[in-house]
Structure 1
Amino acid sequence: MEPGKEYPSFQLYRHGVPVSMIGSPIDALERIGDQHLLQEYARLIAEDSDNPEP
C-alpha cells in the first residue's frame, strides 16, 4: 500500500470468478500482470506532488 493512503479492499474477478482480495492499486496491478500499467502507475505516483515522500 502506498504511504499515507488508505484504500478499501475489494474482490478481483476474472471471467466472473472471484480470484483474490485487493488492498491497493499496486496490488491490483501486480495481480493483473500488466507491467506497462504498473510502471505507468508507479511513474504517476512518483510525480504526484500530493504523495508523501517514502
Structure 2
Amino acid sequence: MDARKQRGKNIPEELAKIDEVKTYAQVAAYPSLHSASIPGITCLDIHEQDHNLIVT
C-alpha cells in the first residue's frame, strides 16, 4: 500500500491477527435467516457464554 493510502489508518491492537482468523470454525448454520432475493439480516452476533442471547 502506498504512503497516501496508509496515512491515517492505524490498525487497532485488539484486531484479530490473520493466523488467529484462520483457526476460526463454523459451529452452526442458520440458513433460514437470510434470503437471496430480499435483504435480510446483514449482521449477527451470539453471546459467547449464553447462546440464547443473539443480536442482529
**Higher percent of residues as helix:** 1
Structure number with bigger Rg? 2
Work out which structure has the larger RCO, using CA pairs closer than 8 Å and 6 or more positions apart in sequence. Answer: 1
Relative to the length of structure 2, the TM-score reads 0.20
Relative to the length of structure 1, the TM-score reads 0.21
